[in-house]
Structure 1
Amino acid sequence: MSATTDVAIVGAGFAGLGLAIRLRRQGVDDFVLLERADDVGGTWRDNRYPGVACDVPSHLYSFSFRPAPDWSRVYAPGAEIQHYLRTAVDEEGVTGHLRLGTEMRSARWTGEHWEIDTGRGTWRARVLVLAAGRLTEPRIPDVPGLDDFAGPVLHTARWDPGFDPAGLRVGVVGTGASAAQVIPRLAGRARRLVVLQRTPAWVLPRGDRAYTAAERSRFTRDPAAARRLREDIFDDAEQAVAARRRVRPAIDELRDRAQRHLHAQVGDAGLRARLSPGYEIGCKRIVLSDELYPALDRDDVTLEDTALTGLEPGAAVAASGRRHALDALVLATGFHTTRQPYAERVHGRRGSLARHWSDGMSAYASTAVHGFPNMFVLDGPNASLGHNSAVYMIETQIDYVLGALAHLRATGAPLEVSAAAERAYVRDVDDAARDTVWLRGGCRSWYLDEASGRLTLLWPGSARSFRERNARFDPAPYLGAAQVAPA
């Protein structure tokens, strides 16, 4: 099968679906949405572990152009978010553009268009939009004996819904965001739970609750009330950027709040000490939970405060030398974030995207990459946040891409950002990141590139500053058509 389209979007999570919906609302129909899985939803399709939920309040973690007034809780469960996205596909007329089970195996710029091999046929597209996300490929620890472990081994992003921990001795590797949600659901159900913690997380109160029927009814009847709530949540979140920039007293107040939460929930001084991070708050992802500490304080839960170093028949071995009998293992070990597997499959004018990103992901306006004409990346380099909603950032990038597509339709000439513009943008981001907690907080996190140490995942400022800089397309930083055409 060979087909032609104007715009090929790769990935049907928030970013890809958001762009597809906006195109449909503009009356644009010449696009295709390629999704390797058998359903839409991205993160919220893949993560189905017990307790999975968003850590951004529901009314902010949704499209501004498609509000949902009837969220069940302050922090929506994962299944509810996926339902929101599925409903959007049906009601916005995206279904006919969607190709499920269609993986991008390779994409090459020919000098005139992108040629995309999916294994189920080839698509020729004038424009390629990579909306494949950052949290898609599970990180599996390289520990001896893992492949030979006889019991069930589950990553939180590849959960087996048939797994039943009842009567089993279960180990959980990790104490980050996913672990903090799944540990309380396993504690009390498993015969015994062992949590292997390499590095403790800073934990803040979550304050989740169900919305009352009256609240949901009011938000439905009065869209302005729901809009004001969204704006209030956004404004509150924006204030947290000061702590990430190590501004005082903001960072001291945030740290004190986390320490009070730890003391309030964990009475044993020894356990508190083992749960106290040795790096500055915000350097790694902050966990929001009212349930993690009580779960770790249970008599049937053991906290192993050193890393998993190996597996033996029926047991986990920790860096401390201690061995813990196990029947099943849960890996809450995160994702490959800064080295995206899709980058090896995309080939521009001078080689692969992986080669261009060998010193860390980069893009002008966090969206366009030199050497890759008519290509845009959503939710990629420096396009996420450590304090506010990723959906807000995605919408900013969608506005940029829509402006670029309008320019393409008007001129017909390929669009390739100049190397100088990309370098200048990266310098600005690096300068802004230099004194932030992510680089000066005394930790190594998945926000930083493994090779260069650069902050490549997060925008080092406020969400508003990202939108002020990157929401409007400007053709000035782009090369002329004569400089773009050769393959």
Structure 2
Amino acid sequence: MNAPAPSPAATPVDAHCDVAIIGSGFAGLAMGIRLRQSGVEDFAIFEKADALGGTWRDNHYPGCACDVQSHLYSFSFAPNPDWSRMFSPQPEIRAYLERCADRFGLRPHLRFGHELRRALWDERAGVWRLDMANGARISARVLVSGMGGLSRASIPDIPGLETFAGTCFHSQQWRHDYPLAGKRVAVIGTGASAIQFVPEIAPQVATLDLYQRTPPWIMPKPDRAVSERERWLFRHLPFTQALMRTGLYWALEARVLGFVLHPRLMKAVERIARRHLARQVPDPALRRTLTPNYTIGCKRVLISNDYYPTLLRANVDVVTTGIARVEPDAIVLRDGTRRAADCVILGTGFHATDPLPRGVVVGRDGRDLLDAWSDGAQAYLGTTVAGFPNLFLVVGPNTGLGHSSMVFMIESQVTYILDALRNMKAREVHAVDVRPEVQRAFNARIQHKLGHAVWTAGGCASWYIDPRSGRNTTLWPGFTFQFRRATATFRLDDYETWPRRAATRDARDARDVHDTSDPLDPHGAYNNERRPA
């Protein structure tokens, strides 16, 4: 892996850029690359950490790998002929992102150590005011969030967890410095992360108690090494890799037929998962414990060839009795059983319904984004939110997938944002804000389609569903090519617009973050210039 370049000097206080991008994972890098390719250089990518990579930097637990084939889980404009496996491990994906940053000249635009504390829309100036944790203050006309939906670790509310005297960490903050050999380990959670790291650590530990609330459906993982011959073909005959990518894409798209259009088709998929479980778990009692009671696809479908065999090990025990509390050296179950532990590992996922803390994004009239989402997150095309001018979300509400590559969705959204910027420039528009009625109509259509999907009708409770509204605020209800078609063109008529000032505000004015006038003043310069497109 290429070592990350040293962080540039801290952005000067009161600096201005036309486009501010938050996050340097797939979303932030795609946005930066496409901006450069379109001739835009006045942008910066603000990253809270000291290196790029997003989720593929933050998640580095043993066994961490992608569950979508990497020939598809990569940028269409930057194919990598050298993936070692069909499903690449985390270090390879992170190294790929580092190479993309170098190849496309993003290093000068990266600002490491810049954690966003608050983004406030300044109505009077028509810019976003960004306050960073390091004290830097930046203004930007356009704000693009590439923070993703699964970036904040979810810590379960278990009584006494904070009193545990041993070592406790979430899988996202893996403690590589802590030796697991010979330890009594408690793993809480059986989701996508746990099924990857449990097989890696089980051979090392003295005992492993796996606390399962709801078993996942697990399919065989069609993984294999990519041969030297294949890699030679991909390097010297790039169309061969393009053909593989296309084949993978359409094979995965076919899953939509069962997920959304005809959920009864999932019964055939379920039979494959049941056979996989039966082949790998001969013990009938354990097999019953590991068999879900909901339709496959209702929760995230997982893939693994080594998870079930790991649970057969003599030192591994699957615990299904609920946890009552945690004590300094043990976990106490609801039936009173006390199970000693030296280490607790939380495989409990991420905050999905509220990916941002309160106070981070504040739009028109001082409204917090979480208040706009009090009944569940929603956006127009997963990208823009009424009341938040010039804010664009990449991997926003209802852009998630249960069947294919999120990179495809990211590239679609980036195309939409670029077209928005082109339209704004051509029409001399300074700011855009999606019309509330447009957003409402779009989300009504989305929820109607989701009402018939397996995620709603499959008989489970999942993180896809917002607990406040009961709506699926996470997933796209259809084929990804439909989303790409919907985001291919930015329709200015869908937005309320503000024209450019007659006298162009220069960079020095935009940097004036200490302007003493009220940014929410209804007589501000942009308030009385609103007009329809």
Match of 1:481 in 2: 498
Tell me the residue number matched to 1:81.
93
2:264, 2:214 → 1: CA distance?
26
C-alpha distance in 1, partners of 2:131/2:263? 52
Deviations 1:414-442 (A, max 9, x none): 11110000000110110010011111111
Following superposition, the deviation at residue 151 of structure 1 comes to 1.1
Q: Structure 1 pair 476/196, CA: closer, same or farther in 2 (3 Å)?
A: same
Q: Residue 310 of structure 2: SS of its match in structure 1?
A: helix
CA deviation map 1:379-438 (0-9, x unaligned): 010011011100000010000000001112222321111000000011011001001111
C-alpha displacement at 1:123, in angstroms?
A: 1.0
Letter of the structure 1 residue corresponding to residue 342 of structure 2 = D
Alignment correspondent of 2:132? 118
Is 1:353 aligned to 2:364, yes or no? no
Q: Which amino acid aligns with 2:175?
A: D
Contact kept in structure 2, 1:173 and 1:308, CA below 8 Å: no
Aligned partners of 1:214 and 1:220: how far apart in 2?
Answer: 10
Structure 2 unmatched runs, 5+: 1-12, 500-521, 529-533
Query: Does the alignment pair 1:428 with 2:437?
Result: no
Task: Describe the superposition over 1:11-70 as per-residue Cα deviations: whole angstroms up to 9, x where unpaired.
Answer: 111101100011111121000111111111110000010000000001000000111111
Matching residue's letter, 1:271: L
Distance, in Å, in 1 between the alignment partners of 2:356 and 2:335 is: 34
Residue of structure 2 equivalent to 1:459: 476
Secondary structure, in 3 states, of the residue corresponding to 1:232? helix
In the TM superposition, residue 343 of structure 1 has moved relative to its aligned partner by: 5.7
Match of 1:266 in 2: 281
TM-score normalized with structure 2 length: 0.89
Alpha-carbon distance in 2 for matches of 1:199, 1:321: 21
Letter in structure 1 aligned against 2:443: V
C-alpha change, 1:486 and 1:397, in structure 2 (3 Å) is same
Pairing 1:31-46 to 2, within 5 Å after superposition = 31-46=43-58
**Residue correspondence of structure 1 range 63-462 to structure 2 within 5 A:** 63-111=75-123, 112-119=126-133, 120-245=135-260, 247=262, 250-342=265-357, 344-350=359-365, 351-413=367-429, 414-462=431-479
Distance 1:24 1:245 in 2: 37
Cα distance in 2 for partners of 1:477, 1:100 equals 35
Who is 2:21 aligned against? Answer: 9
Per the alignment, in what secondary structure is the counterpart of residue 50 of structure 2? Answer: coil
Output the CA distance in 2 between the equivalents of 1:477 and 1:216.
46
> TM-score, length-normalised on structure 1?
0.97
Identity of aligned residues (%): 44
Structure 2 contact 85–226 (Cα < 8 Å) conserved: yes
Greater mean alpha carbon deviation, residues 34-43 or residues 466-475:
466-475
Q: 2:30 aligns with which of 5, 15, 18?
A: 18
Greater mean alpha carbon deviation, residues 405-414 or residues 73-82 = 405-414
The answer on whether the counterparts of 2:120 and 2:130 sit within 8 Å (CA) in structure 1 is yes
- The answer as to whether partners of 2:447 and 2:472 remain within 8 angstroms in 1 is yes
RMSD of Structure 2 on Structure 1 (CA)? 1.5
- Cα offset for 1:249? 5.6
CA distance in 2, matches of 1:57, 1:398: 22
Q: In structure 2, how many angstroms separate the alpha carbons of the residues matched to 1:287 and 1:259?
A: 13
Report the Cα distance in structure 2 between the residues aligned to 1:266 and 1:197, rounded to whole angstroms.
Answer: 16
**Deviation at 1:478?**
0.8
1:19 aligned counterpart, secondary structure:
helix
Would you say the 8 A contact 1:7–1:126 is kept in 2?
Answer: yes
Change (3 A) 1:293 1:139: same
Given that residues 310 and 318 in structure 1 are in contact (C-alpha distance below 8 angstroms), is that contact kept between their aligned partners in structure 2? yes
C-alpha distance after superposition, 1:119-163 (max 9, x if no partner): 332111110111111111100111122111111112110111112
Distance 2:291 2:448 in 1: 30
Kindly tell me: are residues 320 and 65 of structure 1, through their superposed partners in 2, closer, same or farther at Cα, counting changes over 3 Å?
Answer: farther
Distance, in Å, in 1 between the alignment partners of 2:342 and 2:400 is: 37
Contact 2:364 2:387 in 1 (8 A): yes
Does the C-alpha gap of structure 1 residues 411 and 343 become closer, same or farther in structure 2, counting only changes over 3 Å?
farther
**1:249-295 C-alpha deviation (Å, 9 max, x unpaired):** 62111111110100010000000000000111111111100011000
SS of the equivalent of 1:256 reads helix
What is the DSSP-based 3-state SS (H/G/I as helix, E as strand, rest coil) of the residue aligned with 2:161? coil
Deviation at 1:306, TM superposition (A): 3.0
